[in-house]
């Protein structure tokens, strides 16, 4: 296979709606939480906030902070229980195989917790160079903190970095990090319907980088 030379040296991916379709998984988990804690908040309202850290979503939904920990624990438990509801988008594996072979660095920046993120990537046999999930020291999307940490870790000039996401929160984080943003048009597209640079299919990434 011919070795390709890409302009981009670091491709950062969101997880949900970009690498995986986890909407059915989230719906099962949220409905279980909704019933157990009598929240009376439909999944549609929850889903509009997907892309932000879980605790931020709960706050936006008007849930008391005193309930955050138990709700997050239950949601994670049910998400793992319905793990098989998660699907990998077509061509994702081939994309990573090629990027890894061509020495383009890859990272995942997601609002999902570290345990489930690693479990998902391991299950689908997706190898990435770095995974960055929320923690107490970094503000979640739409803040740029997670992306900036990844960029600093690799010590790569921002003009050679790209973030692929599917929500307005991804775009805002990317804009605030001052790196290129590419919309996963096949994903959820929460709060954003169009963008100058977009992918109809994951394999189209090679036309943009």
pLDDT band at residue 6, thresholds of 50, 70 and 90? Answer: low
Measured at the alpha carbon of residue 55, what is the angle toward residues 51 and 59, in degrees to the nearest 5? Answer: 100
- Sequence-distant (≥ 6) Cβ neighbours of residue 164 within 8 angstroms: 11, 12, 13, 14, 18, 181, 182, 183, 184, 199, 205
Q: Is pLDDT above 50 for 28?
A: yes
Please tell me the predicted confidence (pLDDT) of residue 207: 82
**pLDDT tens per residue, range 129-138:** 999 998 989 9
Helices 68-81/23-37 angle, 10° precision: 130
- Sequence-distant (≥ 6) Cβ neighbours of residue 108 within 8 angstroms: 12, 13, 14, 15, 19, 117, 121, 128, 130, 131, 132
Please tell me the predicted confidence (pLDDT) of residue 3: 38
Mean pLDDT in residue range 56-80: 96
Q: Is pLDDT above 80 for 39?
A: yes
Please tell me the predicted confidence (pLDDT) of residue 11: 96
What tokens appear for 166 in the block? 């599917």
Q: In this structure, are residues 75 and 33 in contact, taking their beta carbons and an 8 Å threshold? A: yes
Q: Is pLDDT above 80 for 208?
A: no
Mean pLDDT of the chain: 94
Q: Is pLDDT above 50 for 2?
A: no
Mean pLDDT in residue range 167-176: 98
Please tell me the predicted confidence (pLDDT) of residue 209: 75
Residues 13/15/21/25 CA torsion (nearest 10 deg): 180
pLDDT band at residue 1, thresholds of 50, 70 and 90? Answer: very low
Please tell me the predicted confidence (pLDDT) of residue 4: 42
Mean pLDDT in residue range 130-159: 96
Which of 143, 167, 141, 162 shows the shortest CA–CA distance to 206?
162
**pLDDT tens per residue, range 85-124:** 999 999 999 999 999 998 899 999 999 999 999 999 999 9
């Amino acid at each position: 296979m011919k070795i390709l030379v890409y302009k981009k040296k670091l491709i950062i991916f969101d997880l949900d709606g970009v690498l995986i379709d986890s909407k059915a998984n989230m719906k099962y988990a949220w409905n279980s939480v909704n019933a157990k804690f009598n929240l009376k908040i439909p999944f549609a309202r929850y889903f509009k906030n997907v892309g932000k850290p879980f605790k931020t979503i709960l706050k936006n939904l008007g849930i008391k902070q005193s309930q955050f920990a138990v709700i997050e624990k239950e949601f994670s438990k049910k998400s793992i229980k319905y793990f098989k509801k998660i699907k990998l988008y077509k061509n994702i594996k081939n994309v990573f195989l090629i990027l890894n072979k061509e020495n383009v660095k890859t990272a995942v920046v997601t609002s999902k917790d570290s345990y489930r993120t690693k479990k998902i990537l391991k299950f689908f046999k997706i190898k990435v160079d770095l995974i960055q999930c929320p923690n107490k020291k970094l503000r979640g999307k739409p803040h740029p903190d997670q992306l900036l940490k990844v960029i600093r870790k690799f010590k790569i000039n921002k003009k050679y970095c790209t973030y692929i996401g599917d929500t307005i929160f991804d775009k805002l984080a990317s804009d605030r990090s001052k790196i290129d943003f590419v919309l996963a048009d096949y994903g959820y597209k929460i709060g954003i319907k169009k963008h100058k640079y977009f992918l109809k299919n994951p394999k189209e990434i090679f036309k943009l980088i």
